[in-house]
Chain A
Amino acid sequence: MTNSSLQTAWLALSDGTIQQGKLIGRPGTTGGELCFNTSMTGYQEIFTDPSYVGQLMMMTYPHIGNYGVHPDYDEARRPMVSGVIVRAFSEEYSNHQADGSLQQYLYHHGITGITGVDTRSLVRHIRDKGVMNAVISSEISDAKELVAKAKQWASMEGLELATKATRSEAQTMASEENLFKVAVIDYGVKQSILKNLISRGCTLRVFPAKATFEEINEWNPDGFFLSNGPGDPRAITYTTATVGRIMADGRPVFGICLGHQLMALSQGIPVEKMFVGHRGANQPVKNMITGLVEITTQNHGFGIHESAVNEDKAEISHVNLNDGTVEGLRFRKANAFSVQYHPEACPGPHDSRYLFDEFTERMKAAQ
C-alpha cells in the first residue's frame, strides 16, 4: 500500500515541533510523554509494557510490524502505551505463527499512532532538549491547537500512574513445582517477569499496588517481589508504608525498575527524573561483584545517581557502562536486592536472568 492511500496524521511536540505523517491504528487524538526505544525487535512487548502507561512510544528502528502479533508477546492484556510513532510501518507481515497484523491489533485496542515521520530527527531533538510531551492526531490539523494540546498534557514528573497499570484484585498463579511462595506487588508488572518466577518454581500471589503489608503477609510468602511500573516513583505515596515494612521484614526482597526505585526511596536513597532516560535492549551493565558485563533491556525515565548512594545504605552492584548510572543495589539493612533494568528482557538479551535464580536461592537459604 502506498502512502497516498493512508489517512493523514500529525505529531506535535510541546515545544512547537510538528511533523506530518500517516495514521496507523485507530483514528483519534492521543498524547503523553514522548520517549523513544532503540530495540530493533519486540515492538509488541514494548507497546504492551505497563511501564509505558502515559507515554508515546517512538521506535528508532524504521520497520515496525514486520512479523505481526502473537499472544505470547503480550506483556499485558492490551497495549499500554498512549500512542506509537514509527518511520515505516508494515501493515502486512510475515510470520506463520502470528495471530494477525500489528495494524489490526492497534486498531482493535483503540491505539492511535503515526507512521512516516522522521523519527531520527525527533530522537536527536529529545536527546538535546530532554523529554517532553507530545500529541498524535488524525483529527486536528491546526498546528497551534496541536501544540497547545501537547503543552497541556500532564507532565510525567510527579505523576502517579501505577493505579492505571495495576490490577484491582489479588490473584494467585500456581507453579507446578511450587517450591516458593512469592508475593508480587503489581505496580504494572510485565507478564514475562511472572513467567520467569513461575518457571523457577515460584507460586505467585499478585497484589494490587495499594495492598497493605498485613494483606500481603497474611498469605505468608517466602519472599517479596516489587514490580516495574509507570510514572514517578516519588508520587506513589500509598505504597511507602508497605515497602518499608517489606524491607524491614527480613525475608528476601527482589525489585525491578520501579520496584527498585521504591526500595531505594524506602532506604532514604533519592530518585531523580533523568534528562532522557534509557529505553532499549542494548544497554551495557557491569556487575561490580563478578566483573562481568550484561547486555540489558532498559526502560526507565527516573533513576538513581551514584553520589546519592550512601555506603552504609546500599552497595552499588551494577553500573551502566555508558553513563555510569546506578543499575543495581544490594541493601545493607534489608535482605533485598534490586535492579533498575529488566532481567526478564522481553524484548532483549537474556544475559541477566540469573538474577531470578539469585532470588530463589535467597529464598531457599532462608527456608
Chain B
Amino acid sequence: MPRRTDIETILIIGSGPIVIGQACEFDYSGTQACRSLKEEGYRVVLINSNPATIMTDPIMADAIYLKPLTVESIMEICEKEKIDAVLPTMGGQTGLNLARDLFHRGYWEKNNIDIIGVDIAAIDITEDRQQFRDLMEKIGIDQCRSRTAKSLLDAKEITEELGGLPVVIRPSFTMGGMGGGIIWNEDEFERKILRGLELSPVHEVLIEESIFGWKEFELELLRDNNDNVVIICSIENMDPCGVHTGDSVTVAPSQTLPDEHLQKLRDAAIRMMRSIGTFAGGCNVQFAVEPETHRLVAIEINPRVSRSSALASKATGYPIAKIATKLAVGYNLDELKNQITGTTSACFEPTLDYVVVKVPRFNFDKFPGSDEELSTQMKAVGEVMAIGRTFPEALNKAWQGMETGHSGLGADGFEEFDRKTVRDRLLKPYWDRSLQIRNAFKLGASVEEINDITSVDPWFLQQIRYMVSLENRTEGQQLKSITKEDFNELKQAGYADKQIAWLLSQSGGKTITEEAVRKQRLKLGLKPVFRVVDTCGGEFPAETPYYYSTYEQQNESIVTDKPKVLILGSGPNRIGQGIEFDYSCVHAVLAAKQMGYETIMINCNPETVSTDFDVADKLYFEPVFWERVMDIWEHEKPEGVILQVGGQTALKLARRFHEGGFKIFGTPFEMMDLAEDRGKFSKLLEELEIPFPDYGMATNFEEAKKVAKEVGYPVLIRPSYVLGGQGMRIAIKEDELEEYVSAILKTHPENAFLIDHYLEGAVEVDFDSIYDGEQLHEAGIMQHIEPAGVHSGDSTAVLPPYSLSDKAIETLRDYQLRIAKKMQVKGFINVQYAVKGDDVFVLEANPRATRTIPFIAKATGRPESQIGVKVMLGSKLKEFDLTSTLKHYAIKEPVFPFDKFPEVKKELGPEMKSTGETIYFLEDFNDEHFRKPYEFKNLYLSR
C-alpha cells in the first residue's frame, strides 16, 4: 500500500531534555522521522523542549514548538495546527507516555486524530508487567517466574514463593528501569522494595526470579501493515543478565548462539510483536538464554524506536527510524528500497561482515558516593560504538573512543593492578569489567576462573585472552625486530600504535614513542583500508559513503578531487559534553557543504545525528583518537580540520594538528591554547586592562596554601584543561583546600591547578559571539539566576539579561570585542563573566562552539552554528541576516540525574552535574519558570 492520503498534518512528539536512559538517540530518530515524512510531502509539526536537538531546527519541520512536554502543550498545538495524526514512537518513553495519557483521556479519538506507528493498547500491555506476562503465557513464550507486589508484605510473600533471594525488582511504568535492580540480601530488601513502590506511578513492583548470569540478547524488528516482519539486527550483551542493556558492553551480531537457538529467538520475537496489536513500526525485544540448557525467556518488548534501535541502525546501516516512519504512514516493507545499496529491497535482514562493539560511558566521578555497581537501572550517560572486522579489533577501537585516557583495552599505562583488586572488581559488574578481564588474563587467570566469577560467556573471554597473548608476545621485543606478519596481527586486533609503543617500552630498555611505532608501521607498508558498511556482506554494491577502518587489503573509500573539510565529532555523551556538540557538528557539516566543501565526519557516538550516513558527504565511524584521525587525514588529504564544534574531544587534538603542520580552520591554534592557559590568558587580560579575579597556580598543597592566602578565601580550585568543571571545588578554609588538592592530585596527577578568588554574591554571565576579524556578532548574553560558583551548565540562564545595569552590559560588549580582536578570533568566541554591580570580571574565554550555542540559535531563530562555521571558513558576518526573532526572554533550565543516584545529595557547585536542558519562552517574570529557580537560586549552592 502506498502512503496514506487521508492524513495531511502529522505531529511528532520529541523526548525532551537529555536524561540518563533517554539521550540524543531520540534526536537521531526524531530527525529521521521528520525527514522521512517531509520526503513524502506531509506537513510536519513538532514539539520538543530540548533546544539542543537537530529535530527542532526550522528545516526539519513545518511548525516547531519549543514548549514543555505536557498534555496541555500538545492539546494546544493540536487545536492550532489541525493535526490529523500523531507519531509518538520517536520520543522515547516521554513521547509514548504523553500519547498514552491523552489516549486514556479520549482526546485523540474525540478530535479525530490517528495514532500512527504504535498501538496504545499494546503499550499498556507491554508496560504492565502482569498483563505482559499473561499475554506471553497465552502465546507460549517462556518467561522468568514472577508476580506483582503492591506492598512490602506482598513482596515478602512472593520472594518466598520464588525460592528466596536473590530476586529482581522492576517498578511498573518507570523510565530507564528506574528503581529496579537485584536484591541480594535481607538488609537491602525493605529499602529497595519501598523505593520501587514509591517510584512507580501506580505503586507496583514486579518481583522476579533471578536470571543473573544468563546470556542476554536483543533483537530489533520492523513490521509493516501487511504483517511482514524483519529482524534488522541481533545484539548480544557481553555483560550477562543483571546489568541494564544500556550499561552493558554489547556486540552485534550475536556471537555465541547456534543458528537453531538464534532462530528460536527470532520466531519468539516475531510472535511477540504480532501479539501486541496491529501497528506498523519498530520494536525491540529482549531475551535471556540460560547457558547450560539454552532455555529461552522473554524479558521485555518495547514497541518503539529506542537506544538499541539507534545502535542497530548504525551497526547495520539500516535506517530503522526512517523506515519505521514510512511504515507508519502506510507503506509496506516490500515497497521500499534499501537506502544503502539503492537497488535492493528494504524488506530484508541485514547481514554483517564485521563486528560492532558498544561500550557505555559512565560519569560516576561527578557523583562522589554514588553506587558504582551496575544493575538493571541504567547509569551510563553515553556510549561509544566501534566497528572492526573482528571482536578484538572492535573492542580495542571502542576503548580508543571512550576518552577515559585509554588507548584501547589496556596496554596503555593504566596498569597498576594486583590480583586482589582485579578479583574484587570482577566479583560484581562495574563499568570497567572488560578492562579488568583483560587485567585478570594479564595476571594469568584462566577462562574458566573468569567465567566462574563473572558469567561472561567463554567466547568473549577467549577473544580477550587472545588479545593478551598478542600483548605478551610483543612485550620484550624490539620495534625493528617485529615481523610484518606479527605487526599486522596486532593492528588487525585493533592495537593502537600507542599501545604497541607502551608494550615495547615494557622490556626495560628505552621508551618507544607512538610516533616511532607509526613510522615503523608505515615503513612496513601497514596502513588501514576503509570499508563500507553495506548491510549485505558485500553481496551487492553500496552507494552509501559510510566507512570504518581495518587492516586488510582492499580499500573501498575512493578519494575525490574536491576540496575537503574534516569535522571531528564529540565522542560519547557525558555530563558537560552532550547533544549540544552533535548539534554544532551537524551544522558545521551543512555550513561547509554550502561553502562548496566535501565534508568528512569522524565520530564514534551511535546516538548522534552527525553519524547518520546521509548527513556528511563521507562518514568515518571511528574513534576520535589521534591515530585513527591521522589515518583518515592521510587517506583523504583534506584542506583542513574543524575542531571547534566537537567539544573538548576534538580540541584536545589541536596541539598535535598544529605541531604536525595540519591546517586548523578558524582561530589560530596559539590563541586556542592561550585560552586554556590561565597564566597566558591573564597576561592578555592585563594587557587589555580587563579585570579578572585574583588567581594563582600551584602544583602541590604548600603552594596552594600560599596562593589561597594571597588571593583570599573563599577560593575556587580546579585542574587546568578540563571541561564541565571536572574536579572543581570551592574552599572556604585551609583544611578544605588540603582535601581538594589531594583529590585533584589523585585524579589529575600531572596537572597544575588553578586557584581563583571566588567572587561571592556576583552574578554570572555567559556571552556567546562570533567574530570575523572586523565585526562582532552578539549571539547572546545570558544571565544566570544562580550565583556565580554554580557551573554555567547547571545554572538557569536567561537570555537576554534580566537585571544587569546598562553600564555593565556596555562593559561586557566592550570587553568581548577587545578579547575577540586580541585573540584573533575567527568564528566562535564565548566569554564567561562575573558581574558585581557595574563591575565586570572575566572568568574564562572559549574560542569554540559552546554548549549554549544551540540554545541561543533556537531562542533567536538564527543558525548560529552555521554562521560561526562559515566565518571560520572565510565568510564575513555582513553576508548574513542577523535579526533575532526573540520577543521577550528565553530561559534555559537544567535537568539533573539525582534520581538515578539516590545515595548522592543534590548540591550544585563548580562541577557540572546536569545531563540536559530545556528551553522555555517567558513573557514576564511572574512566570513560575522564572520565579521558582529565582526563589531557590541559593539553595543548592555547595562546594
Which positions in A face B, CB cutoff 8 Å? 1-4, 19, 36, 38-42, 45, 60-63, 66-67, 70, 72-73, 87-88, 90, 92-97, 118-121, 123-124, 127, 276, 280-284, 286, 291-293, 295, 321-323, 345-350
Cα distance A323–B293 when bound, in Å?
Answer: 41
Cα distance A347–B260 when bound, in Å?
Answer: 7
Residues of B with C-beta under 8 A to A67: 256-258, 459
Chain B min CB distance to A341 (Å): 13
B540–A60 contact, CB under 8 A?
no
B259–A2 contact, CB under 8 A?
no
Task: Check A120/B353 contact, CB under 8 A, given A1-B466, A97-B294, A349-B266.
Answer: yes
A295–B349 contact, CB under 8 A?
yes
Task: Check A40/B253 contact, CB under 8 A, given A2-B473, A96-B292, A127-B538.
Answer: yes
Residues of A with C-beta under 8 A to B27: none
Chain B min CB distance to A16 (Å): 15
A–B pairs, 6, beta carbons within 8 Å = A2-B469, A60-B537, A62-B390, A284-B348, A293-B226, A293-B333
B389 within 8 A of A: yes
A40–B351 contact, CB under 8 A?
yes
Chain B min CB distance to A320 (Å): 9
Chain B min CB distance to A199 (Å): 14
B349–A3 contact, CB under 8 A?
no
Cα distance A118–B555 when bound, in Å?
Answer: 11
Q: Mark B459-479, 1 if CB is under 8 A from A, else 0.
A: 100100010011001000000
Task: Check A60/B353 contact, CB under 8 A, given A295-B230, A348-B263.
Answer: yes
B458 within 8 A of A: yes
Q: Mark B391-420, 1 if CB is under 8 A from A, else 0.
A: 100000000000000000000000000000
B109 within 8 A of A: no
Q: Mark B226-250, 1 if CB is under 8 A from A, else 0.
A: 1110110000000000000000000
- Residue among B353, B466, B483, B553 with max Cβ neighbours from chain A (10 Å): B353
B96 within 8 A of A: no
A322–B459 contact, CB under 8 A?
no
B531 within 8 A of A: yes
A94–B263 contact, CB under 8 A?
no
Cα distance A63–B389 when bound, in Å?
Answer: 9
User: In residues 199-231 of chain B, which contact A (Cβ within 8 Å)?
Assistant: 226-228, 230-231
Chain B min CB distance to A114 (Å): 15
Chain B min CB distance to A247 (Å): 31
Which one of B231, B466, B485, B552 contacts A118 once the chains associate, using CB atoms below 8 Å? B552
Cα distance A283–B263 when bound, in Å?
Answer: 15
Chain A min CB distance to B108 (Å): 30
Which one of A3, A90, A121 contacts B485 once the chains associate, using CB atoms below 8 Å? A3
Residues of B with C-beta under 8 A to A118: 552-554
A282–B554 contact, CB under 8 A?
no
Cα distance A276–B537 when bound, in Å?
Answer: 14
A282–B353 contact, CB under 8 A?
no
- The secondary-structure label for the interface of chain A is loop
B520 within 8 A of A: no
Residues of B with C-beta under 8 A to A73: 258-260
B263–A2 contact, CB under 8 A?
no
Cα distance A323–B349 when bound, in Å?
Answer: 15
A282–B349 contact, CB under 8 A?
yes
Cα distance A347–B258 when bound, in Å?
Answer: 9
B794 within 8 A of A: no
Cα distance A215–B343 when bound, in Å?
Answer: 48
Which one of A90, A97, A293, A349 contacts B347 once the chains associate, using CB atoms below 8 Å? A293
Cα distance A200–B230 when bound, in Å?
Answer: 26
B554–A63 contact, CB under 8 A?
no
Cα distance A45–B347 when bound, in Å?
Answer: 25
Task: Check A2/B466 contact, CB under 8 A, given A42-B259, A321-B344.
Answer: yes
Cα distance A350–B266 when bound, in Å?
Answer: 9
Chain A min CB distance to B261 (Å): 9
Which one of B253, B256, B262, B553 contacts A95 once the chains associate, using CB atoms below 8 Å? B256
Cα distance A4–B485 when bound, in Å?
Answer: 8
Enumerate the 7 nearest inter-chain pairs by beta-carbon distance, A residue then B residue, closest first.
Answer: A42-B259, A347-B259, A321-B345, A121-B554, A60-B537, A94-B459, A123-B538
Cα distance A92–B537 when bound, in Å?
Answer: 24
Q: List the A residue with the shortest CB-CB distance to B458.
A: A94
Residues of A with C-beta under 8 A to B266: 349-350
Q: Mark B537-571, 1 if CB is under 8 A from A, else 0.
A: 11111000000000011101000000000000000
Residues of B with C-beta under 8 A to A284: 230, 334, 345, 347-348
B258–A41 contact, CB under 8 A?
yes
Task: Check A322/B537 contact, CB under 8 A, given A1-B469, A282-B351, A293-B228.
Answer: no
B350 within 8 A of A: yes
Chain A min CB distance to B332 (Å): 8
B255 within 8 A of A: yes
A63–B390 contact, CB under 8 A?
yes
Chain B min CB distance to A124 (Å): 5
Cα distance A123–B259 when bound, in Å?
Answer: 23
Task: Check A322/B348 contact, CB under 8 A, given A62-B390, A63-B390.
Answer: yes
Cα distance A280–B344 when bound, in Å?
Answer: 15
B462–A94 contact, CB under 8 A?
yes
B554–A41 contact, CB under 8 A?
no
Q: List the B residue with the shortest CB-CB distance to A40.
A: B253
